Structure 1
Amino acid sequence: MSQTSGRDGREASETNDNLSPAPITAMLSSRLMVLANLLKRGAILRYKRLAGLSSVEFGLVASLGRRPPMSVARLAEAVGQDKGQISRALAELVSRKLIAKSANPKDSREVLVSLTQAGLAAHDAIVEGAQERNRMLLAQLSHDELDTLLKQIERLTATAEAMLEAEKVSR
């Protein structure tokens, strides 16, 4: 019986099914989700430390960015959540004077949101933190490796989009 060293450094028997990864964990999609979740968790901690923002709040601030005011509906679409899901976060950001609300001059029934000066400062901290994290990731790859990786991600993304559309049709 051979021994292998696990991620935590402890030895595990290759024949012990309880310690072997389930086949799904070896799949590319699972590995990419683990990577994405690790990056997201690190980002959430960083943006909480840098700007005092929760994950939903930093998503809203990042989406608003240095753009013209946008409707709450458009913002909800940009972050992939419905208006109800973001309303509490918007209220909190307004109370902290990071976001300003105003009526749309073209349609007074529509509310527009934009970053205040304090919101712009939080946005800039997010961007700076994201750039630093990106530099740390890219430092692991040569120029050619990065180019290859980005091309492969584009191909995989296109395939994943097609798979999603096929699932939507199959409902």
Structure 2
Amino acid sequence: MAEKLNGNDAPLAGVQQELISAHFLLLRRVLLKSARTDFQGFMPQNQMERRVIFTLFRMEESRVSELAYSMGNDVAQISRALASLRNVGMVHRERQRDPYTLTAKGLKFGQELDAVAEKREQRLIRGLQPVEAFELGGMLMSLQNRASQILAEELLQAKTEDAGEEGITVPAYPDPPNRVQAAVFNIANTISRSATAAFKRLAGVSNFEWRVLVNVASRPSITFMGIVDHVDADKAQVSRTLDALVGVGLICRAKDAASGQVLIELTEKGQAYYALMRDDALKRHTILTAGLKNAQRGRLQGYLNLLIGNALEMAGMSGEQEDRHGL
């Protein structure tokens, strides 16, 4: 599995191959693909709302800020999901600052979702020995705590107003997820938010624009369709993004005389921006994994490779190339 992730045509490009964070984002995306099939027919179909129900089902009760911290999402996203779930009678709270709980309807739905999630969990961790699963659980808890610290510091630097109706509250003893898949989603969401804030602060570049830049930087003379394949987006979105990046002087297009194909390269300015963002991503990687010894990092990488392989099988994509994006 490792060679599939790190070969010349690997979906993890350049510096992404070094980053644990990129592997978490990869794993989240592949799991989302199989979840669309496994949870088809369940209401609500909204993935965020399902995750809120999952979390409340496990925690029994939780405030908005606690849900946001545990799930790795911002307060506004959680609040919107809870408002929707209240409208359909799945969650309730007595007063504004009281914790949310599931209604009888929400509890029944939570039980149904939990049964599917348990089957998915067993498929995801297939091949992990009990002692390995135990070690991985501890690593995931450590990574979630460090990812949350990185996000808090990044939001402070960016002076991002992310407080919502209850403010930014970090629980002293957050309730850890009871499944690997939930922990993966929480860590990936937290990583994605801190990366988005960092890229905006450093270069005024969006997360999607970074995904394009890292592929252009790491895959010399890439074509338009090559970018579409690797970032897993529709042609219109990629085309708009390329036009914007050309407009600000970060990339350029050139027609290859031999093949006639239009090739995309970074400009000198684009290379400088990429280097700045790459160095920041590596710095966050160092902080994220600071609590792990070298041998532990190696085992963590092995666990993630195993999980990614299982997730690809769950999505019916074993042996196929899947996009790996983000830092």
* Alpha-carbon separation, structure 2, partners of 1:166 and 1:57: 26
**Map of 2:306 onto structure 1:** 155
Contact 2:62 2:100 survives alignment (8 Å): no
Q: What TM-score comes out, normalization by structure 1 length?
A: 0.79
Q: CA deviation digits over 1:13-32, x for unaligned, max 9?
A: xxx9817x965663321220
Partner of 1:69: 221
Cα distance, 1:36 vs structure 2? 0.5
- Which among 104, 108, 122 is matched to residue 256 of structure 2? 104
TM-superposed deviation, 1:139 = 0.4
Q: Which residue of 2 aligns with 1:131?
A: 282
Residue 28 (structure 1) aligns with: 180
Which residue type is aligned with residue 83 of structure 1? Answer: K
Structure 1 residue 87 corresponds to structure 2 residue 170: no
Q: For structure 2, which runs of at least 5 residues remain unmatched after alignment?
A: 1-60, 67-98, 118-176, 319-327
Determine if contact 1:62/1:126 at 8 Å carries over to the other structure.
no
Q: 2:210 aligns with which of 50, 55, 58?
A: 58
After superposition, give the CA deviation of every residue in 1:107-134 in whole Å (9 maximum; x if it has no partner). Answer: 33x3211100000001101110111011
Aligned-residue CA RMSD in angstroms? 2.7
Q: Give the drift of 1:5.
A: 9.5
* In structure 1, C-alpha distance between the alignment counterparts of 2:253 and 2:299, rounded to whole Å: 44
Q: Which has the higher contact order (CA 8 A, sep 6+)?
A: 2
Q: Is the 8 A contact 2:253 2:264 kept in 1?
A: yes
- Following superposition, the deviation at residue 144 of structure 1 comes to 2.8
Partner SS, residue 315 of structure 2: helix
- Residue 60 of structure 1 aligns with an amino acid whose one-letter code is V
Percent identity for Structure 1 against Structure 2: 26
AA at the equivalent of 1:62: V
Q: Indicate how the Cα distance of structure 1 residues 152 and 90 shifts in structure 2: closer, same or farther if over 3 A, else same.
A: same
Aligned to 2:194: 42
Rounded Cα–Cα distance in structure 2 between residues aligned with 1:159 and 1:69: 32
State the alpha-carbon separation in 2 of the partners of residues 123 and 29 from structure 1.
31
Which amino acid is 1:118 matched to? K
1:142 equivalent in alignment to 2:293: yes
Partners of 1:64 and 1:115 within 8 A in 2? yes
User: Contact (CA 8 Å) 2:62, 2:101: kept in 1 or not?
Assistant: no
Give the superposition deviation at 1:160: 0.9
- Quote how far apart the aligned CAs of 1:147 are: 2.1
1: distance between equivalents of 2:317 and 2:238?
A: 29
Deviation at residue 94 of structure 1 after TM alignment: 0.4
Higher Cα Rg: structure 1 or 2?
A: 1
Q: Which runs of 5+ in 1 are unaligned?
A: 9-15
Cα distance change, pair 42–88 in 1 and its aligned pair in 2 (3 A): same
The alignment's TM-score, normalised by the length of structure 2, stands at: 0.43
Per-residue deviation, 1:55: 1.2
Larger strand share, 1 or 2? 1
Note closer, same or farther for the CA distance 1:120–1:28 as it changes in structure 2 (3 Å cut).
same
